[in-house]
């Protein structure tokens, strides 16, 4: 066997390596500091910065209006909550299998205080609608390999469904379990003013951006009879949400996001939990 | 050391039956993959929106581990000066490239939209661990291929350079894969220890797999294999088993000790099927039994005992991959720390996962593709040494 280093071969291969390294490092060259900073908040005073305030003290037990309205508005398949809840009461294990792939962009959680100084509050249940928090530093957008999930200039975190590859890393990264994946490929199209959903991509609440762009409020906010939701521009001191937050803080009532300790900066605030 | 590599003959009946079986398995796997893509993952897999990463991700992570492990073994002679392992370096490097391709296949066929496979290259998000890994994996394949070419053309200098680069890259590939899980804000994922423990498990499983592959290929092709080489590898394997065990102990002790993550640790250690996989699969079968076999002088010199230990380690690391990927998702996120969640419209109930049959078939299909490519490689390329013998007293000429 030829033991000498074949000069021509060596040059050929070294050339290959150089070319290969160059090609594979193109993404890193093209990446600039601004690309990385883009992931962090671009909150500035002049822009709209949508936020939501949920007053769970007003939310009622057997009401599922927001959940069902969200389904219809965004063409999300799934069973409507009334019958579903009846089924769950009847047979839990069977219903678990039946509704395994239901998608709830907004869901309702029943909570009970674990400990409280106030004895009257001890056994009181509260009902909290939980949805995408549209975080200031969204970890779903941070991990998306194709930048399909991104934060709009107004702070809404949305998915570009034509770019998403369906790797589901964002579902893993979201600490709030607020993101979903269309596992079943059923595509209903009840509301023609919002595009039909696409199979095999990630999705989540998008604050009904299609309605916001038309100057309307998100559907869940609109349908709530109890006015649990307050929606508005956090940067505008005259918006309804800013006024309400100011009022509450004057009365020393705590307004907080879910698990703010995670550093995600949720923009859906809660009163009463 | 002069090594004679020859291709296998591949004319026997058994050879063609093997290829046929592999092709059938691969086709079945691909059919199921297509069905999953066409009808939706939910119809065929145990996944749900709460457990979106399932068996194929477990397999992908496992393949990446095996790949880095076999690459390190391939570089034993060039980088770590263990000249006696040179006969295996071609085969190990070829396996390393194949396995990383297998990992990429497992990941991409698991996507909701594998038809958009080009997107990660067009839209590159430098902040995403996935993108960084896409870069690492693809360049790793390239480096592996150049390394192989260098070996096949007997370009010793280039082999040495590429071996060094490949080892460094393997560390990057592994740390990156660990970071996919470790850098995510979920209690059972978030950990800076995941990248290094990934490397440890990778090298351990890679060594065990190489022992098995060597024993099987040399036996099937009736070539001479010096038992001392296998014993040497088994000594390495024993060290790796303890390193993996050390990482597991540190991580779980930390989780159970710190009040913040104690409930997550309890869920992890005693919370269902994954706990059985952990205790029985990883700790007992994957670590303790092989460690005992390789420690006791009576067993550790027997090739049968070594191969049993290797089988156990290979299985044990698969279990390790399972308990990294799955419980991190099924563990409920504690969204309301001082509240008790009494009921929830659906979502929190379904955080359970069990492997479905189509998922296993898909994984088998991908494994069959890899095995097919490996056997074909042995047939076409001069990869397998005609004999692997340890020289008793190597002289200058022989080296």
CA closest to A161 among chain B residues: B113
Beta carbons of B146 and A181 less than 8 Å apart: no
Q: What are phi and psi of B253, to 5 degrees?
A: -65, -45
- Listed range (A18-32, A109-123, B223-237, B311-325) with the worst mean pLDDT: A18-32
CA of A121, closest CA in chain B: separation in Å? 12
ipTM rounded to 2 decimals: 0.88
Residues on chain B touching A180 (C-beta within 8 angstroms): 49
Per-residue pLDDT at A122 exceeds 70 = no
CA closest to B187 among chain A residues: A175
Q: How many pairs of residues across A and B have Cβ atoms under 8 Å apart?
A: 232
Distance CA B351, CA B112 (A): 20
Q: Is A173 on the interface with B (CB under 8 A)?
A: yes
Which pLDDT band holds residue B345 (cuts at 50, 70, 90)? low
CB burial readout A55-78, b (16+ within 10 A) else e = bbeebeeebbbbbbbbbebbbbbb
Per-residue pLDDT at A164 exceeds 70 = yes
Q: Is A270 on the interface with B (CB under 8 A)?
A: no
Distance CA B147, CA B158 (A): 8
3-state DSSP of A151-172: ECCCCCEEECCCCCCCCCHHHH
| Proportion of chain B above pLDDT 70, given as a percent | 95
pLDDT at A40: 41
Q: Is A12 on the interface with B (CB under 8 A)?
A: no
Beta carbons of B346 and A84 less than 8 Å apart: yes
**Which SS3 state, helix, strand or coil, does residue B141 take?**
helix
CA closest to A167 among chain B residues: B111
How big is chain B, counted in residues? 399
Residue showing tokens 């004999």: B387
- Listed range (A183-192, A240-249, B14-23, B187-196) with the worst mean pLDDT: A183-192
Residue pLDDT, tens place only, B200-236: 999 999 999 999 999 998 888 888 888 888 998 999 9
Per-residue pLDDT at B346 exceeds 80 = no
What is the CA A184 to chain-centroid distance, rounded? 20
How big is chain A, counted in residues? 273
- Name the B residues in 346-365 with CB < 8 Å from any A CB: 346-350
| Cβ pair B282, B326 in contact under 8 A | no
Residues on chain B touching A100 (C-beta within 8 angstroms): 42, 48, 350
Query: Who's near B345: CB < 8 A, 6+ residues apart?
Result: A64, A67, A81, A84, A85, A104, A107, A108, A109
Residues on chain A touching B335 (C-beta within 8 angstroms): 109, 130, 176-177, 258-259
pLDDT at B337: 80
| DSSP secondary structure letter of residue A118 | S
Residue pLDDT, tens place only, B331-342: 877 788 877 777
Q: Is B342 on the interface with A (CB under 8 A)?
A: yes
Nearest to B52 among A64, A126, A168 (CB): A168
The residue among A261, A87, A270, A75 whose CA lies nearest residue B349 is: A87
Residue range A228-234: average pLDDT? 93
| DSSP secondary structure letter of residue B278 | I
User: Where in A60-123 does DSSP place strands (E)?
Assistant: 107-113
Per-residue pLDDT at A219 exceeds 50 = yes
Residue range B22-33: average pLDDT? 95
Distance CA B260, CA B250 (A): 16
| DSSP secondary structure letter of residue A194 | S
Per-residue pLDDT at B175 exceeds 50 = yes
Query: Who's near B323: CB < 8 A, 6+ residues apart?
Result: B268, B274, B277, B278, B281, B282
Q: Which residue has the higher pLDDT, A93 or A41?
A: A93
- Listed range (A106-120, B14-28, B237-251, B301-315) with the worst mean pLDDT: A106-120
- Name the A residues in 96-135 with CB < 8 Å from any B CB: 96, 99-104, 107-115, 125-126, 128, 130
Neighbours of A227 (CB within 10 A): 9
Residue range B122-131: average pLDDT? 89
Alpha-carbon torsion B224, B375, B71, B175, what sign? negative
Nearest to B336 among A111, A115, A143 (CB): A111
Residue pLDDT, tens place only, A245-273: 999 989 988 898 998 888 889 999 999 87
| Cβ pair B29, B36 in contact under 8 A | no
pLDDT at A76: 86
Nearest to B49 among A175, A181, A273 (CB): A181
B206: left (phi over 0), alpha (psi -120 to 50) or beta: alpha
The residue among B120, B116, B117, B114 whose CA lies nearest residue B134 is: B120
CA closest to A106 among chain B residues: B345
Distance CA A158, CA A84 (A): 28
- Listed range (A159-163, B337-341, B372-376) with the worst mean pLDDT: B337-341
Burial grade of B370 (CB within 10 A; 0-12, 13-18, 19 or more): buried
User: Where in B313-360 does DSSP place strands (E)?
Assistant: 339-344
Which pLDDT band holds residue B363 (cuts at 50, 70, 90)? very high
Residue range B20-46: average pLDDT? 92
pLDDT at A7: 58
Which pLDDT band holds residue A54 (cuts at 50, 70, 90)? very high
Neighbours of A194 (CB within 10 A): 17
Beta carbons of B127 and A36 less than 8 Å apart: yes
Angle at B64 between CA B72 and CA B253, to 5 degrees: 90
Residue range A185-212: average pLDDT? 86
Per-residue pLDDT at B97 exceeds 80 = yes
Q: Is A184 on the interface with B (CB under 8 A)?
A: yes
Residues on chain A touching B56 (C-beta within 8 angstroms): none
Beta carbons of B113 and A165 less than 8 Å apart: yes
Give chain A's end-to-end CA distance (angstroms, integer). 77
Residue range B253-272: average pLDDT? 89
Residue showing tokens 């560390």: B171
Beta carbons of B339 and A177 less than 8 Å apart: no
pLDDT at B343: 67
- Listed range (A65-69, B148-152, B331-335) with the worst mean pLDDT: B331-335
Residue range B381-385: average pLDDT? 84
Per-residue pLDDT at A90 exceeds 50 = yes
Residue pLDDT, tens place only, B266-290: 989 998 889 999 999 999 999 999 9
Distance CA B79, CA B163 (A): 6
| DSSP secondary structure letter of residue A272 | -
Residues on chain A touching B125 (C-beta within 8 angstroms): 144-147
Which pLDDT band holds residue A28 (cuts at 50, 70, 90)? very low
Q: Which residue has the higher pLDDT, A33 or B198?
A: B198
- Name the B residues in 95-114 with CB < 8 Å from any A CB: 107, 110-114
**Which SS3 state, helix, strand or coil, does residue B222 take?**
coil
- Name the A residues in 203-232 with CB < 8 Å from any B CB: none
CA closest to B3 among chain A residues: A1
| DSSP secondary structure letter of residue B118 | T
pLDDT at A139: 92
Among A32, A117, A121, A168, most B C-beta atoms within 10 A, so best to mutate, is A168
Per-residue pLDDT at B71 exceeds 70 = yes
Q: Is B49 on the interface with A (CB under 8 A)?
A: yes
| Cross-strand partners of B111 | none
| Cβ pair B43, B32 in contact under 8 A | no
Burial grade of B129 (CB within 10 A; 0-12, 13-18, 19 or more): buried
């Amino acid at each position: 066997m030829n033991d000498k280093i074949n000069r021509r071969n060596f040059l050929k291969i070294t050339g290959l390596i150089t070319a290969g390294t160059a090609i594979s490092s193109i993404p890193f060259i093209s990446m600039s500091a601004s690309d990385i900073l883009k992931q962090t908040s671009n909150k500035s005073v002049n822009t709209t910065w949508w936020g939501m305030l949920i007053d769970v003290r007003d939310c009622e037990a057997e009401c599922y209006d927001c959940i069902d309205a969200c389904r219809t508005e965004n063409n999300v398949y799934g069973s409507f909550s009334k019958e579903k809840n009846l089924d769950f009461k009847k047979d839990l294990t069977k219903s678990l299998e039946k509704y395994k792939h239901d998608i709830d962009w907004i869901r309702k959680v029943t909570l009970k205080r674990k400990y409280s100084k106030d004895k009257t509050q001890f056994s009181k249940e509260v009902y909290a609608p939980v949805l995408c928090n549209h975080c200031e530093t969204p970890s779903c957008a941070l991990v998306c390999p194709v930048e399909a999930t991104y934060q709009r200039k107004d702070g809404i975190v949305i998915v570009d469904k034509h770019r998403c590859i369906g790797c589901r890393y964002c579902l893993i990264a979201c600490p709030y379990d607020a993101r979903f994946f269309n596992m079943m490929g059923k595509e209903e199209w009840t509301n023609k003013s919002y595009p039909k959903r696409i199979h095999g991509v990630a999705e989540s609440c998008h604050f009904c951006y299609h309605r916001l762009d038309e100057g309307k409020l998100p559907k869940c906010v609109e349908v709530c009879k109890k006015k649990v939701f307050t929606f508005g521009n956090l940067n505008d001191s005259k918006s309804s949400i800013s006024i309400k937050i100011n009022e509450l803080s004057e009365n020393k009532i705590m307004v907080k996001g879910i698990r703010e300790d995670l550093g995600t900066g949720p923009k859906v605030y809660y009163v009463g939990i | 050391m002069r090594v004679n590599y020859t291709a296998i003959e591949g004319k026997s009946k058994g050879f063609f039956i093997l290829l046929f079986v592999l092709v059938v398995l691969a086709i079945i796997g691909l059919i199921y993959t297509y069905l999953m893509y066409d009808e939706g993952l939910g119809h065929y897999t145990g996944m749900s929106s709460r457990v979106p990463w399932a068996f194929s991700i477990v397999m992908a992570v496992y393949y990446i581990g095996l790949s880095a492990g076999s690459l390190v073994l391939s570089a034993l002679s060039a980088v770590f000066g263990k000249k006696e392992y040179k006969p295996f370096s071609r085969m190990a490097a070829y396996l390393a490239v194949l396995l990383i391709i297998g990992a990429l296949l497992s990941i991409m066929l698991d996507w909701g939209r594998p038809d958009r496979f080009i997107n990660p290259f067009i839209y590159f998000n430098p902040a995403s661990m996935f993108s960084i890994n896409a870069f690492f994996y693809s360049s790793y394949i390239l480096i592996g291929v150049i390394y192989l070419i260098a070996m096949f053309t007997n370009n010793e200098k280039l082999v040495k350079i590429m071996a060094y680069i490949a080892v460094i890259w393997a560390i990057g590939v592994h740390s990156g894969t660990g970071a996919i899980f470790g850098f995510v804000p979920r209690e059972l994922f978030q950990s800076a220890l995941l990248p290094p423990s990934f490397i440890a498990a990778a090298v351990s499983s890679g060594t065990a797999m190489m022992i098995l592959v060597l024993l099987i290929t040399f036996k099937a092709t009736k070539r001479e294999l010096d038992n001392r080489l296998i014993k040497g590898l088994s000594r390495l394997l024993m060290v790796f088993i303890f390193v993996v065990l050390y990482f597991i102990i540190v991580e779980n002790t930390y989780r159970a000790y710190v009040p913040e993550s104690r409930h997550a640790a309890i869920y992890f250690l005693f919370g269902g099927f994954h706990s059985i996989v952990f205790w029985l699969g990883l700790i007992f079968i994957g670590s303790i039994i092989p460690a005992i076999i390789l420690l006791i002088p009576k067993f550790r010199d027997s090739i049968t005992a070594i191969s049993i230990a290797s089988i156990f380690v290979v299985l044990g690391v698969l279990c390790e991959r399972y308990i990294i990927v799955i419980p991190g998702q099924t563990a409920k996120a504690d969204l309301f720390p001082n509240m008790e969640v009494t009921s929830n419209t659906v979502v929190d109930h379904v955080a359970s996962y069990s492997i479905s049959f189509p998922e296993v078939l898909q994984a088998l299909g991908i494994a069959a593709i890899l095995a097919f490519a490996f056997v074909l490689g042995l047939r076409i390329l001069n990869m397998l040494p005609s004999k692997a013998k340890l020289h008793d007293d190597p002289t200058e000429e022989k080296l």
